[in-house]
Chain A
Amino acid sequence: SQQGEEDPQALSIQEGENATMNCSYKTSINNLQWYRQNSGRGLVHLILIRSNEREKHSGRLRVTLDTSKKSSSLLITASRAADTASYFCATVVRGGSYIPTFGRGTSLIVHP
């Protein structure tokens, strides 16, 4: 079964607004990663957050991790039309082979 599940499945906002996507998982993780995928393209690695970290920032991206709730969130501040893409969380299970397992993704549309 899939380890990570994103919520919501789809999100539509206006340019300038913030976008928040959530990811829930089931088992203990080593780390959790967020990726972006433009339509019909490959994945771009955004942020990796380890199980002993609670928050990381990268530009307009903010990722939080709550291991007690087995959940993570990705916040995109001041969104732009170019942020329109699908966003996936991927979990790397503790004690595993470092192969990430992907959720179904959140489709984000930012209207100009």
Chain B
Amino acid sequence: GAVVSQHPSWVICKSGTSVKIECRSLDFQATTMFWYRQFPKQSLMLMATSNEGSKATYEQGVEKDKFLINHASLTLSTLTVTSAHPEDSSFYICSARAPNSKGETQYFGPGTRLLVL
């Protein structure tokens, strides 16, 4: 099946710094990627939809200036958490819409655990 990777798998940073997370589709081109965050024992909450070559669509309540998304190519989307604070600590997961699936199936990355001290 299709493979989606994320880098880094975990990151610890100081409050106030910015952190960039990469999401790559390794063996297919993904015109649409999604970014989710997940708190412990909670559901995945969609943050934004990332479209190649255009601006991301953010869900209500998600600060677009705080969570910068760039989808510069068909295989790479990045999420930058700017001026991170402890409340941004979470598990961030990306997914990519599978090709030829009529948009029904997504492949998920392994996630990035962010801890802001």
Q: Do A and B bind?
A: yes
Measured CB to CB, the residues of A under 8 A from B are 2, 31, 33, 35, 40-45, 48, 88, 92, 97-105, 107
B103 engages A98 (CB within 8 Å): yes
- The smallest C-beta distance from A99 to any residue of chain B, in angstroms, reads 6
Question: Which segment, of B11-19, B36-44, B67-75, B80-88, faces chain A?
Answer: B36-44
CB under 8 Å from chain A, chain B span 1-46? 4, 6, 34, 41-46
4 interchain residue pairs of minimum CB distance = A98-B103, A43-B108, A42-B110, A42-B108
B44 engages A44 (CB within 8 Å): no
Task: For the complex, give the distance between the alpha carbons of A29 and B46 in Å.
Answer: 18
Q: Name the interface size band of chain B.
A: 20 to 34
For the A-B complex with A99-B34, A102-B43, A104-B43 known, give 9 more contacts whose Cβ atoms are closer than 8 Å: A40-B111, A41-B110, A42-B6, A43-B95, A44-B108, A48-B104, A99-B49, A101-B46, A105-B41
Using Cβ atoms and an 8 Å threshold, which residues of chain B touch A41?
110-111
Task: For the complex, give the distance between the alpha carbons of A104 and B4 in Å.
Answer: 23
From B43, B46, B104, A105 is in contact (CB under 8 Å) with B43
B93 engages A42 (CB within 8 Å): yes
Using Cβ atoms and an 8 Å threshold, which residues of chain B touch A2?
43
Closest to B91 in A: A40
Contact A104 to B110, CB < 8 A, known contacts A43-B93, A48-B104, A98-B104: no
- The smallest C-beta distance from A107 to any residue of chain B, in angstroms, reads 7
